[in-house]
Structure 1
Amino acid sequence: MESARIPFTERYHATQHGGIARAANSSVTCKTAAGRTATPCAAVQQGGAGANGHYRMAYIDVDSDARTANSSSATLRIPAGSRVSYARLYWGGSLRGSGQKAAKDNGRVLLAEPGGRYRQVRADTMTGHRPHSATEGFQASAEVTELVRNSGGGAYTVAQINMATGHSTAGVWGGWTLVAAYENKKQPLRRIALWDGFQSLGADRRELSVRLPGLRIPANSHGLAGVVAYDGDRGHGNDTLTVRAGQHRAHTVRDTANPANDVMNSTVTDLGRPTMRWPAYRNTLGFDSDVFDITPALRSGGDRLTFRFTTTRNPGYLLGALFVQTDTRR
């Protein structure tokens, strides 16, 4: 089943010694500029400003398998001695470029674990899909706990995401994120939560709040939050994210790679730093999968967290997943 909008709901939660890890990468990149004023493609890939609607886009394909049209890889970092308790793969792409892709293949993708061969993964949940829109796109996901538990950390490759190439004014985009919660007795006791949905922010909705209740966050705790989003453009500004613990003052989420007023800016980063992935284009042209430090919001503790996403742009972006780890107590 598909829906143009899926409310954000909790997918997984646990209280355990351990944490949450993720690997992610984009699956399309620029090929040539579609206008004379666009920044050269090579400069954009190195981190220059540029939006996907200004380029003719082409698949990324890093494997040596002639049967795959697109593929990219990234490293999932899981500490030694850990056991994966839950893992989920998200993937998404735009369906309109120089041509239009049929939506029937949105729920299928190929996944290869470290040193392994591709196996088909099918979405096990309702697929988000925005039909009849200039920014037509989708997100799908599937639980892959057993595969990741048996394979552990290392380089994962995702191929054959159903997405368009070429040029459209709205822009072509696509990418994937693998999220894994793990247990490790050497790490602090933490509350781990994964929420997902498919929500458009832009013309018809300027903000979205996601509330994580039932937490027991002590004062001076540490925490991380990860966000998966699509079709955010670098340099346009006016996209913000805040997090509030209990009734305390909201903290504006930002780091060296994600400005406070342009947080959905086509990056894949950990705490503002580049991640290990192939290729590692710094401007992913419409794909965001970032992990942020939310420790400043947790100084006074709290019993819940409220994340507030905003945009003043039209179109804005598509929000797909939110994952959080915070120190906690029994």
Structure 2
Amino acid sequence: MWLRQVSGERRLRAAATRTAGALVATATALTALGAAAPASADAVAPFTKRYDESLYGDFVTIGNTVMGCPAAPADPAARCAAVGGGRGGGDTSVMQRVNTARTTAGYGSSTGRVTIPPGAKVAYARLFFGGNDGTYRGPSGARLARCDISGADARPSPGAPLAAVPVLSVNGGAAARVSTEDLVQDPATTDGPHHYTGEADVTSMFAGVTGTGAPVPVAVGGIWAPDGKGCAAGWSMTLVYKYGAPNAEYAPERRNVYVYGGHVLRRSGATTIGVDGFHHAGGGRVRAGVTAHEGDWNTLGDRFLVDGKNITEAHTGNSEGDGAVAPKAVDDLSVDAKEFELPSGAIPPGATSTELTFTTEGDTYVPSALALSVPVPDLEVTKTASPRTAGPGDTLTYTVTAKNISSLDYPNVRFSDDLTGNLDDAAYNGDVRTDLGHVSYSAPRIGYTGDIPAGRTATVTYSVKIHDPVRGDGKLPSDVEVQSPRSNCAAGSTDPSCGTAPEIEKPQPPAPPALRITNVPERPAVPPCEETGNTVTIADFSARKRTGAAVEWPVTAGSVPVASAGSVTKRGSVYVWKGDVAAHGKVVITQRVKASCTTGEATAITVTAGVPRTNCPKARRGGGDPCTSVITAGREQARPAPPQDSHRPHGSALADTGDSDTFLYGGLAGALCGLGVLAVAAARSRRD
């Protein structure tokens, strides 16, 4: 094919030349075949970008034929073997498909291996396949069932070329059918041999693969292939690997990797592809990969040029696939699938466009895949805020650093910082500054432009003043977005280094005033079935009004409670009071409570608060609880005033009824012990 080697200058490789073209594609996009391309070059499907990514990694291209030499007749077999062994030959060989991967019968298959550096993941993998479709249009326009104008009719695989679905096995796994796309076949009106090509994104089939540095076996089968003179078929694969960060040994710098697919039929003359929209900073290795299909020996004049400069590569110039395992021939007479470095200066520093040219003199081949890898500047952006938290009226300073961590100068860096999330709570102070490049402010965005030399850092600072009082959501989020390619903060980035979201410290509201609650019966002991008054007092002794207070107590027989402020409602088995208590004020709630009709039985009423900072929380308190009133049904004793000269102990306030104190209090104590809670009533009665 195009990378050819013959004596003297015949060592030229058309493949290398094509490689250069692939490199050109690296620039940014293979736009299309030039409008002035001669009729001898048919862009059946112009090269189109399939993948474009900036990453810490690179690409690998491998491939293999699915054709081999026949065992008989002896003469054609010997000539084919001589050519396949790299011993030359000027004619077209008789070929037959092979099935070394032992996949679908009647179709071609072969094996290869791809080496992925230790620890690297597969970012992208694409399978390219194709060959002759077994037809040929002769000089008279006759359509022949051959791959060459001479020889017997070809014996094709079952079905049509574009209907066949290849299968792929990775790392010894089961072979699986791929999802084909970009299927192309030469028009029937095209003179000479006809070809077909197809592609498939096979990235998912490498999902569980992590590089170890050891070759990963792959097997490709189900390739439609015809047996016959000059027939060719095979496959190639371009795999892109990546690391999450620079790797000193295998990915020390960021690279832009491009993969293109197409179907360009080359017969004679030159085909030029224009590529533009990139910026080659210069320096570093530029690598290319290429795939082309052909079915004969090298032809002098097959070349590949970049910007008019002839490109050669270090291989033998034979048609062969890098990474081929079985079959493995010096010249497989079928598919070129190679990767190589472009010579220094092939694309000059500062170039933003280039031209790739394929030439041949009387040969026919089909370039179908190109890959390009170029080192590119790498920007690492970080944004911080100081202080991390601030209060109303404070000034907050933001710092954005943009460091060129590559060995290449980074021209025309552009990034912006959107302040929309700040401006509801703060005002921009109009003080943006940078120590390298240029900054501007066009509400609501800070903008930066400038050239950042290799290893240098551009620092941008600006500040905002927080409103007092705060009027927005109390948050100050903002993120840097880099418009230039190759950074950690491109649009949609989730890198936390690209933004910051300080929060405004809002003043804590003062604790609510404490409330003092008392619950006192008018009479702690009344005759059975009689009523007595009960008073709940909620007092605020502070200088601040207590709002939203709430207390509750059980519903008892008697009247509905009446409050001096707020409202009382009945909720099931409890009364609930809600309202405010004025500073230095109180709310009084009164009600009539009917005592039990059973002598000695007590009615306990416990008030609990549903708000904090009161002396009557939900948890029950012990004896002497001011939140509980107890009304006992019992015999009421008369209380005459004691004689002035009485020398009796003053511990009892009960009148002398003729019974001893011991008898009276002993009987009362016995009753209270039976009721438990009546101990509180007894104590209060003694105090009365």
Quick check: TM above 0.5?
Answer: yes
Choose the corresponding residue for 1:90, options 116, 124, 128: 128
Distance 1:239 1:13, change over 3 A: same
Q: Which runs of 5+ in 2 are unaligned?
A: 1-41, 135-145, 147-152, 379-688
Map 1:174-213 onto structure 2 (within 5 A).
174-184=233-243, 185-186=246-247, 187=251, 188-203=253-268, 206-213=269-276
Q: Residue 99 in 1 paired to residue 166 in 2?
A: no
Distance 1:306 1:106, change over 3 A: farther
The one-letter amino acid of 2:120's match is S
| Cα distance in 2, alignment partners of residues 30 and 64 from structure 1 | 17
Choose the corresponding residue for 2:94, options 43, 49, 56: 56
| Cα distance in 2, alignment partners of residues 4 and 32 from structure 1 | 37
Q: For the aligned residues, what is the CA RMSD?
A: 2.7
| Cα distance in 2, alignment partners of residues 149 and 216 from structure 1 | 32
Q: Residue 108 in 1 paired to residue 165 in 2?
A: yes
Choose the corresponding residue for 1:309, options 332, 344, 358: 358
Partner of 2:325: 277
Partner of 1:325: 373
Map 1:172-251 onto structure 2 (within 5 A).
172-184=231-243, 185-186=246-247, 187=251, 188-203=253-268, 206-231=269-294, 233-244=296-307, 250-251=308-309
The one-letter amino acid of 1:146's match is S
Partner of 1:247: none
* Counterpart contact for 1:224–1:324, Cα < 8 Å: yes
TM-score w.r.t. the length of structure 2 is 0.41
| Cα distance in 2, alignment partners of residues 191 and 126 from structure 1 | 27
What secondary structure does 2:206 align onto? Answer: helix
The one-letter amino acid of 2:370's match is L
Partner of 1:262: none
* Counterpart contact for 1:106–1:140, Cα < 8 Å: no
| Cα distance in 2, alignment partners of residues 213 and 152 from structure 1 | 34
Q: Residue 71 in 1 paired to residue 109 in 2?
A: yes
Q: Which has the higher contact order (CA 8 A, sep 6+)?
A: 1
- Structure 1 position 105, deviation (Å): 4.5
Partner of 2:544: none
- Structure 1 position 43, deviation (Å): 2.5
What secondary structure does 1:95 align onto? Answer: strand
User: What does the per-residue CA deviation read over 1:203-253, in whole Å, with 9 as the maximum and x for residues that have no partner?
Assistant: 5xx222233323332222211111111116333211110123xxxxx4321
| Cα distance in 2, alignment partners of residues 120 and 80 from structure 1 | 28
Q: Residue 257 in 1 paired to residue 322 in 2?
A: no
What secondary structure does 1:54 align onto? Answer: coil
Choose the corresponding residue for 1:40, options 67, 72, 79: 79
Choose the corresponding residue for 2:226, options 164, 174, 178: 164
User: What does the per-residue CA deviation read over 1:267-298, in whole Å, with 9 as the maximum and x for residues that have no partner?
Assistant: 224xxxxx452221111113111212114224
Q: Residue 147 in 1 paired to residue 170 in 2?
A: no
User: What does the per-residue CA deviation read over 1:99-149, in whole Å, with 9 as the maximum and x for residues that have no partner?
Assistant: 354425445111111111111113122424443554122000011111123
Distance 1:65 1:235, change over 3 A: closer
* Counterpart contact for 2:108–2:225, Cα < 8 Å: no
The one-letter amino acid of 1:172's match is C
Q: Residue 31 in 1 paired to residue 70 in 2?
A: yes
* Counterpart contact for 1:38–1:54, Cα < 8 Å: no
- Structure 1 position 301, deviation (Å): 4.9
| Cα distance in 2, alignment partners of residues 183 and 191 from structure 1 | 11
Partner of 2:526: none
* Counterpart contact for 1:216–1:302, Cα < 8 Å: yes
Partner of 2:562: none
| Cα distance in 2, alignment partners of residues 116 and 238 from structure 1 | 43
| Cα distance in 2, alignment partners of residues 305 and 107 from structure 1 | 37
Distance 1:173 1:126, change over 3 A: closer
Q: Residue 18 in 1 paired to residue 57 in 2?
A: yes
What secondary structure does 1:116 align onto? Answer: coil
| Cα distance in 2, alignment partners of residues 316 and 105 from structure 1 | 21
| Cα distance in 2, alignment partners of residues 152 and 164 from structure 1 | 36
| Cα distance in 2, alignment partners of residues 152 and 173 from structure 1 | 33
Q: Which runs of 5+ in 1 are unaligned?
A: 245-249, 260-264, 270-274
- Structure 1 position 303, deviation (Å): 2.6
User: What does the per-residue CA deviation read over 1:4-39, in whole Å, with 9 as the maximum and x for residues that have no partner?
Assistant: 811112111111111011221011022168896996
